[in-house]
């Protein structure tokens, strides 16, 4: 079996064990048993329980790789497409289950709190911030506040959808509603960004 396949099986097993037993009771023995791998293989790929769950949380929740919008799209369409794709990815049932497990564990586990504190929404290759950086450069805007703007825009869109989903208030959260709210938020955001940098 290839290493990437073994790694994926271990991460999938770790996700199941975390959801079923919680972080404190999620032992490497349980992960090995659930994955059908030996503990030796497990420790060869992940040197500790903390590192295994750090990688699981980072890769399953925060390293979201949205599809690239067509080049012919307007900036508004590109940004809306990126955010809708982020929402679709983050709101998948498997990710929502993992988020719920992490929220439950964060009050009990210092390790989980440390993992979350060390990560940024959007991951190491934050697609939203990368898009905003490129847009600001193209428009001649300073890029010093891109991190703040990205967090604000994420909160207005994906963060709000996530909050609704976690609160089980998703009856009105249809694909059309996500697209509509995202489009409105992007229009407001880009209009505000332009007005910040164009003083007449």
Q: Please, are residues 166 and 100 in contact by the beta-carbon 8 Å criterion? A: yes
If asked whether residues 89 and 184 sit together in one domain, one would say yes
Phi, psi of 61, deg, nearest 5: -115, -40
The DSSP-derived string for 98-146 is: HHHHHHHHHTT-HHHHHHHHH--TT-TT-HHHHHHHHHHHHHT---TTH
CATH code for the domain of 40? 1.10.10.60
Q: Which pLDDT score, from 0 to 100, does residue 76 have? A: 93
Strands annotated E in the chain: none
Residue 61 within any structural domain of the chain: no
Tokens 């890029």 correspond to 143
pTM: 0.79
- Domain range enclosing 178: 68-197
Residue 53 within any structural domain of the chain: no
If asked whether residues 122 and 162 sit together in one domain, one would say yes
Comparing 95 with 171, the larger pLDDT belongs to 95
Whether the per-residue pLDDT at 61 is higher than 80: the answer is no
Q: Which pLDDT score, from 0 to 100, does residue 110 have? A: 87
Whether the per-residue pLDDT at 200 is higher than 60: the answer is no
């Amino acid at each position: 079996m290839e290493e990437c396949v073994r790694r994926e099986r271990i991460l999938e097993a770790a996700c199941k064990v975390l959801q079923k037993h919680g972080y404190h009771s999620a032992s490497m023995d349980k992960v090995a048993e659930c994955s059908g791998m030996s503990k030796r293989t497990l420790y060869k790929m992940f040197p500790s329980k903390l590192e295994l769950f750090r990688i699981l949380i980072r890769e399953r929740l925060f390293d979201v790789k949205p599809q690239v919008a067509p080049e012919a799209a307007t900036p508004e369409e590109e940004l809306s497409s990126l955010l809708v794709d982020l929402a679709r990815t983050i709101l998948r049932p498997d990710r929502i289950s993992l988020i719920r497990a992490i929220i439950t564990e964060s009050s009990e586990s210092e390790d989980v709190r440390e993992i979350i504190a060390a990560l940024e929404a959007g991951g190491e290759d934050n697609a939203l911030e990368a898009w905003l950086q490129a847009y600001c450069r193209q428009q001649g805007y300073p890029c010093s506040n891109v991190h703040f703007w990205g967090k604000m825009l994420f909160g207005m869109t994906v963060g709000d959808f996530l909050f609704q989903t976690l609160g089980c208030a998703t009856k009105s959260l249809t694909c059309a509603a996500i697209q509509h709210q995202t489009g409105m938020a992007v229009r407001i955001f880009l209009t505000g960004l332009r007005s910040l940098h164009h003083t007449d």
